[in-house]
Structure 1
């Protein structure tokens, strides 16, 4: 056995229990290389650009421990520990329902605003037991990462898209930018290049690297692997932090979402990073790289996670919108009621899609009795979510209107003896809302839809599942591949078979020869 093969056979496994919130915060104080505002971050859990977002992830882990007797299931490693059900492969509809319900319950920590929660990449990790054979010589790595992550609930993220540079050129011609293997060693692969957008990666344990885009031809670009965030040569270049801006210019009262739910989107750079063989899932197999997303089982599962999270988020937004129009005194206007009703309808749609996905699973061909969420409904989510979110934002802006900005600049204004009496008088709400309560409510709504944080969330929901054209083309291709489109066309042909140019061909229908004016020559030119 080669050194590399020996390492692959000895991939990491763990019997350690799921992180607590405090353990999670300790675990990411590892010297990772993150840059923001021209400086390297010394401790991501203490830096004002990340510290409260990190604490919200810690809350997610603590909520799991609080609820594990209700939402947890036993690992399939034999350890006897409870884990998040979405980190396991599913064999029944009940398995998928438990996974969906756990995702929804834990999203309540973030009111639906945590797109890259620790169970996001369980959409991939939970496939590795059922589908380990897909990874060929690296199947042992898949099995052992599957075992480890269900025991620990390691926080993974992914970066799978090449930077938006030289898109008119072949991937192989942009070697100075796109991630590729520089050389192989006994210890692993030396990898350089960049991937985007590494959302939330500043707080994760591992980053998963794959390829989503036009097909690869050069095997040096054909790699799928994971890397710990503290690996030498891994660097994150963060965008501006909404959490930092909120803290510097306001308070939690002014920016209650920006202040704690900013999942920083970063540029992920690899500068001659050693990727040990035990962290590799695919290397050098161009066909397998290009088949990965349809073959991995990730797409149906990540779609289930996305629609479930969005449904919880819309629970929050629908409630917030309805409270805002109550506070502004317009809740009984007919047009306003139609808008709130439409938002509730969108919310119901996405909860319904999640239900359909888990209650009508599809057998996963090539595995031993495993299933996947029904992708037909998931594809509908991928098309409709980018339509729904801007529409909901439009309805809020139209019907709350100036109420979104008829607000004082800061919570500090409410502490001012000089202006507080005027605020209490002129900025009070309707229906019994005191000024401070109206201001608190509408600042929350502004942060959701009008702040930089809110604008970024609209962009996120528009592009979460891919670009506009691909979402629709993939829906068409899926319907073609499954035979559903053919069945729809046969349905039409069945209708058309009842008649021809001479009239009805169906024996039970009566031709109109006895009353038809044209055939009887009674229509004159």
Structure 2
């Protein structure tokens, strides 16, 4: 097995611009949708809104007025600047800066891009903190850490094997999963599939790894980076809500789906060549199986997720308050009570984000990791928070979510406009156009197909609910938290004031 270090790339002194990001997507990637190969994702009506939203994030990194908020010096020797979450944090203050930058970037998309480029920094920064865990590929880890940081590269990832043949015993290799099928002097050949690669059509690279129990067959113990345009890689997309909005509606009618639909996809590799310099794990069962809990990825992605969800709940809180005013629901105690609970959930998630940083702990490699106790708590509660907030908004707004004009074009019809202005206006002097704008936004947030996908995402992106709870239990036992808690009870039972016969 070759173990030559990765070929270094020329360091960048600044992150990608929006224009550079878009230009980089015009390559030979195989993105498939509705039975056709997509020619250019930057102009296709199923993807153009999303990629332009991402491009706006890159452009914000070059805004002189946001320099200190969104960027920090690189630690690679490039002399440039980067999004601070892409750097190894060496102190709590470093994590504070990363959290501020995550918040500021998410404000630009109101929390609706779960897989903004800094999400994968949750993993990419760990390559600089602990490259030695990748053994003979440690130099690859160091190189990709520098490349990702200097360019603020956009990675998608896929960690889960396709849910095929789950009825078979666990020691039966998952044949459809990504596996090594050959080796050459140039690299490894891989075939098989991984799910769910959210945003892959709009990403520059995909990261493939293993989540779950260690693989029993070394051929499946592989982890690597691949450009999305890798020959032999197909990106098979789900239906596009952005495309549906473009064909049947407009940005007025689907204000979120038309901008922020991160298409979810299956990655299929067919004897795709992964150069040795892009390999991180090869036939190493232990390292492959310990990715989620030992790499540092888990508490970092939950810090990003909590911060992003908190921004999203800010938006949903404001949307409920605005919609309640438009409908006159703010005159009803039940609606105000629902808003009060939504605001409480919002504050709870912000508290998770804050506690993960302020209670952060140093790791053995000198990097600081977000507090794992809070991370596991958020992983369990985030889906419940989102489900409850969506339910409260639906209850508070009720049928007002349903009776809105069919399309923005209705307002341009002279025969209809007087009726719309009379019968579909809102409370507190709200015009019919403004009421429709608010209620269509509310529907796209909680009632549309786009909204349904987000409800599922918030419940599942951090893992299966039962697994999340089991992991929280195992973490408490393994970290000593369970012993400390039971110790309090034991101290009471054996103390002088303990009850006795």
| RMSD over aligned Cα atoms | 1.4
- Counting only pairs closer than 5 Å after superposition, residues 245-260 of structure 1 correspond to structure 2 as 245-260=244-259
Cα distance in 2 between the residues matched to 1:52 and 1:373:
33
Q: Is the 8 A contact 1:11 1:279 kept in 2?
A: no
CA offset digits 1:475-525 (Å, max 9, x no partner):
11111111111111011112212467754xxxxxxxxxxxxxxxxxxxxxx
Aligned length: 498
- Counting only pairs closer than 5 Å after superposition, residues 166-245 of structure 1 correspond to structure 2 as 166-170=165-169, 173=172, 176-245=175-244
Computing the radius of gyration from Cα coordinates, the structure with the larger value is 1
Q: Which residue of 2 aligns with 1:281?
A: 280
- Counting only pairs closer than 5 Å after superposition, residues 235-384 of structure 1 correspond to structure 2 as 235-365=234-364, 367=365, 369-384=366-381
Cα distance in 1 between the residues matched to 2:91 and 2:355:
14
Q: Which residue of 1 aligns with 2:400?
A: 403
- Say if 2:170 is the partner of 1:164: no
Q: Is the 8 A contact 1:13 1:144 kept in 2?
A: no
- Counting only pairs closer than 5 Å after superposition, residues 124-135 of structure 1 correspond to structure 2 as 124-135=123-134
Cα distance in 1 between the residues matched to 2:230 and 2:415:
55
SS of the residue 1:182 aligns to: strand
- Say if 2:432 is the partner of 1:432: no
Cα distance in 2 between the residues matched to 1:501 and 1:330:
53
- Say if 2:7 is the partner of 1:32: no
SS of the residue 1:466 aligns to: coil
SS of the residue 2:406 aligns to: coil
Q: Give the CA deviation at 1:393.
A: 1.0
Cα distance in 1 between the residues matched to 2:159 and 2:499:
55
SS of the residue 2:147 aligns to: helix
Q: Which residue of 1 aligns with 2:385?
A: 388
SS of the residue 2:258 aligns to: coil
- Say if 2:41 is the partner of 1:44: yes
CA offset digits 1:3-24 (Å, max 9, x no partner):
x223x34354533531111111
TM-score, normalization: structure 2?
0.97
In structure 2, do the counterparts of structure 1 residues 189 and 479 end up closer, same or farther at CA, with 3 Å as the change threshold? same
Cα distance in 2 between the residues matched to 1:501 and 1:406:
63
Q: Is the 8 A contact 1:68 1:83 kept in 2?
A: no
Q: Is the 8 A contact 1:132 1:142 kept in 2?
A: yes
SS of the residue 1:128 aligns to: helix
Cα distance in 1 between the residues matched to 2:162 and 2:192:
10
- Say if 2:147 is the partner of 1:112: no
Q: Which residue of 1 aligns with 2:3?
A: 5
Q: Which residue of 2 aligns with 1:507?
A: none
Q: Which residue of 1 aligns with 2:140?
A: 141
Cα distance in 2 between the residues matched to 1:9 and 1:81:
21
CA offset digits 1:258-308 (Å, max 9, x no partner):
111000011110010000000011111111111121110100100000000
Q: Which residue of 2 aligns with 1:22?
A: 19
SS of the residue 1:25 aligns to: helix
Q: Which residue of 2 aligns with 1:93?
A: 92
Q: Which residue of 1 aligns with 2:485?
A: 488
SS of the residue 1:436 aligns to: helix
Cα distance in 1 between the residues matched to 2:213 and 2:405:
49
TM-score, normalization: structure 1?
0.93
Q: Give the CA deviation at 1:171.
A: 6.4
Cα distance in 2 between the residues matched to 1:57 and 1:326:
32
Q: Which moved more, 1:258-267 or 1:14-23?
A: 14-23
Q: Give the CA deviation at 1:214.
A: 3.0
- Say if 2:422 is the partner of 1:412: no
